[in-house]
Amino acid sequence: MALYVGEADSTMDDKNRLTIPKKFRKLMSDDADADLEVWVIPGYGDADFMIMDSDHGGRWAQTIMKVGIGGGKVARKKRLLALSERVEVDKQGRALIPQNFLERCNVTAREFKVAGHGDYLAVYSPSSWQRFQASLSKDELDGLWDDAGSGDASEMAGDGTIE
Protein backbone atom coordinates (compact mmCIF):
# COMPACT_ATOMS: atom_id res chain seq x y z
CA MET A 1 0.00 0.00 0.00
CA ALA A 2 1.38 3.37 -1.05
CA LEU A 3 2.30 6.01 1.48
CA TYR A 4 2.45 9.46 -0.10
CA VAL A 5 4.78 12.02 1.50
CA GLY A 6 6.53 15.17 0.35
CA GLU A 7 5.56 17.65 -2.32
CA ALA A 8 6.06 18.29 -6.02
CA ASP A 9 5.08 20.85 -8.63
CA SER A 10 2.53 20.02 -11.31
CA THR A 11 0.61 21.61 -14.15
CA MET A 12 -2.71 21.19 -15.90
CA ASP A 13 -2.88 21.68 -19.65
CA ASP A 14 -5.64 23.32 -21.69
CA LYS A 15 -7.45 19.97 -21.97
CA ASN A 16 -7.67 19.74 -18.15
CA ARG A 17 -5.05 16.99 -17.93
CA LEU A 18 -3.25 17.24 -14.61
CA THR A 19 0.22 15.71 -14.60
CA ILE A 20 0.62 13.52 -11.53
CA PRO A 21 4.24 13.95 -10.43
CA LYS A 22 6.38 10.90 -11.16
CA LYS A 23 7.49 10.53 -7.52
CA PHE A 24 3.84 9.85 -6.61
CA ARG A 25 2.79 8.08 -9.80
CA LYS A 26 5.40 5.37 -9.42
CA LEU A 27 3.89 4.47 -6.03
CA MET A 28 0.45 3.89 -7.55
CA SER A 29 1.34 0.57 -9.19
CA ASP A 30 4.10 -2.02 -9.06
CA ASP A 31 3.71 -2.46 -12.83
CA ALA A 32 5.06 0.56 -14.74
CA ASP A 33 3.03 -0.47 -17.81
CA ALA A 34 -0.25 -0.95 -15.94
CA ASP A 35 -3.24 1.24 -16.70
CA LEU A 36 -3.84 3.55 -13.75
CA GLU A 37 -7.10 4.86 -12.44
CA VAL A 38 -7.37 7.48 -9.71
CA TRP A 39 -10.17 9.05 -7.73
CA VAL A 40 -10.48 12.83 -7.74
CA ILE A 41 -12.35 14.10 -4.71
CA PRO A 42 -13.41 17.62 -3.69
CA GLY A 43 -10.82 19.28 -1.48
CA TYR A 44 -10.80 19.50 2.28
CA GLY A 45 -9.24 22.38 4.19
CA ASP A 46 -6.95 24.43 1.96
CA ALA A 47 -6.66 21.76 -0.76
CA ASP A 48 -8.46 22.49 -4.03
CA PHE A 49 -9.03 18.76 -4.55
CA MET A 50 -7.58 15.42 -3.62
CA ILE A 51 -6.38 12.38 -5.55
CA MET A 52 -6.50 8.79 -4.30
CA ASP A 53 -5.07 5.79 -6.07
CA SER A 54 -7.53 3.05 -7.01
CA ASP A 55 -6.93 0.97 -3.86
CA HIS A 56 -7.26 3.85 -1.40
CA GLY A 57 -10.22 5.32 -3.29
CA GLY A 58 -12.06 2.00 -3.25
CA ARG A 59 -11.51 1.57 0.49
CA TRP A 60 -12.59 5.17 1.13
CA ALA A 61 -15.81 4.62 -0.82
CA GLN A 62 -16.52 1.34 0.99
CA THR A 63 -16.08 3.09 4.34
CA ILE A 64 -18.64 5.70 3.31
CA MET A 65 -21.04 3.01 2.09
CA LYS A 66 -20.91 1.25 5.48
CA VAL A 67 -22.51 4.20 7.26
CA GLY A 68 -25.93 3.07 6.07
CA ILE A 69 -28.89 5.02 4.84
CA GLY A 70 -29.90 8.14 6.64
CA GLY A 71 -30.02 11.87 6.68
CA GLY A 72 -27.79 14.52 8.16
CA LYS A 73 -24.13 13.61 8.42
CA VAL A 74 -24.61 10.26 6.66
CA ALA A 75 -26.23 11.92 3.65
CA ARG A 76 -23.47 14.56 3.49
CA LYS A 77 -20.79 11.86 3.47
CA LYS A 78 -22.52 10.01 0.65
CA ARG A 79 -22.75 13.22 -1.37
CA LEU A 80 -18.96 13.11 -1.56
CA LEU A 81 -19.31 10.02 -3.73
CA ALA A 82 -21.59 11.89 -6.13
CA LEU A 83 -19.14 14.81 -6.26
CA SER A 84 -16.10 12.61 -6.89
CA GLU A 85 -14.82 11.13 -10.16
CA ARG A 86 -12.81 8.09 -11.18
CA VAL A 87 -10.43 8.93 -14.03
CA GLU A 88 -7.75 7.14 -16.00
CA VAL A 89 -4.13 8.22 -16.02
CA ASP A 90 -2.51 8.13 -19.46
CA LYS A 91 0.99 6.80 -20.19
CA GLN A 92 2.42 10.33 -19.76
CA GLY A 93 1.03 10.42 -16.21
CA ARG A 94 -1.82 12.83 -16.92
CA ALA A 95 -5.27 12.51 -15.37
CA LEU A 96 -8.11 14.15 -17.31
CA ILE A 97 -10.04 16.15 -14.72
CA PRO A 98 -13.65 16.73 -15.82
CA GLN A 99 -14.57 20.37 -16.40
CA ASN A 100 -17.70 20.10 -14.22
CA PHE A 101 -15.55 18.80 -11.33
CA LEU A 102 -13.14 21.74 -11.69
CA GLU A 103 -16.03 24.20 -11.77
CA ARG A 104 -17.66 22.58 -8.72
CA CYS A 105 -14.36 22.91 -6.82
CA ASN A 106 -13.76 26.49 -8.13
CA VAL A 107 -10.44 25.46 -9.68
CA THR A 108 -9.11 27.91 -12.26
CA ALA A 109 -5.34 27.57 -11.73
CA ARG A 110 -3.06 25.75 -14.18
CA GLU A 111 -0.07 25.36 -11.84
CA PHE A 112 -0.28 23.32 -8.67
CA LYS A 113 1.60 21.97 -5.72
CA VAL A 114 0.82 18.30 -5.08
CA ALA A 115 1.48 17.16 -1.52
CA GLY A 116 1.46 13.67 -0.07
CA HIS A 117 -0.90 13.33 2.88
CA GLY A 118 -0.33 9.66 3.65
CA ASP A 119 -3.05 7.77 1.79
CA TYR A 120 -3.95 10.55 -0.64
CA LEU A 121 -2.53 13.48 -2.59
CA ALA A 122 -3.74 17.01 -1.92
CA VAL A 123 -3.68 19.36 -4.91
CA TYR A 124 -3.17 23.05 -4.15
CA SER A 125 -3.35 26.11 -6.38
CA PRO A 126 -0.60 28.67 -5.62
CA SER A 127 -2.93 30.73 -3.40
CA SER A 128 -4.19 27.63 -1.56
CA TRP A 129 -0.59 26.44 -1.06
CA GLN A 130 0.32 29.83 0.43
CA ARG A 131 -2.57 29.57 2.90
CA PHE A 132 -1.53 26.03 3.82
CA GLN A 133 2.10 27.07 4.32
CA ALA A 134 1.11 30.14 6.35
CA SER A 135 -0.82 27.92 8.74
CA LEU A 136 2.33 25.97 9.61
CA SER A 137 3.94 28.18 12.22
CA LYS A 138 6.52 26.78 14.65
CA ASP A 139 3.80 26.46 17.29
CA GLU A 140 1.59 24.60 14.81
CA LEU A 141 4.41 22.18 13.96
CA ASP A 142 5.04 21.60 17.66
CA GLY A 143 1.32 20.90 18.04
CA LEU A 144 1.50 18.32 15.24
CA TRP A 145 4.19 16.47 17.18
CA ASP A 146 2.03 16.65 20.30
CA ASP A 147 -0.94 15.23 18.36
CA ALA A 148 1.28 12.42 17.07
CA GLY A 149 2.01 11.40 20.64
CA SER A 150 5.40 13.01 21.00
CA GLY A 151 6.49 16.53 21.81
CA ASP A 152 10.00 15.88 20.53
CA ALA A 153 11.36 13.99 17.54
CA SER A 154 14.21 12.77 19.75
CA GLU A 155 11.66 10.53 21.52
CA MET A 156 11.18 8.53 18.33
CA ALA A 157 12.77 5.08 18.44
CA GLY A 158 15.07 3.82 15.69
CA ASP A 159 12.23 1.75 14.21
CA GLY A 160 10.01 4.85 13.73
CA THR A 161 7.73 4.19 16.68
CA ILE A 162 7.12 6.63 19.50
CA GLU A 163 8.68 5.54 22.76
For 115-150, how does the pLDDT look when each residue is reduced to its tens digit (9 = 90+)?
999 999 999 999 999 998 888 777 777 777 777 765
- The domains of the chain are located at 7-124
For 74-115, how does the pLDDT look when each residue is reduced to its tens digit (9 = 90+)?
777 788 899 999 999 999 999 999 999 999 999 999 999 999
**pTM of this structure:** 0.82
Which CATH superfamily does the domain covering 7-124 fall into? Transcriptional regulator MraZ domain (3.40.1550.20)
Nearest CA to 18 among 75, 74, 92, 128?
92
Q: Angle 73-83/54-65 helices, nearest 10 degrees?
A: 150
**b/e code 102-126 from CB counts within 10 Å (16+ = b):** beebebebeebbbbbeebbbbbbbe
Q: Give φ, ψ of 93 to 5 degrees.
A: 85, 25
Q: Identity (one letter) of the amino acid at 96?
A: L
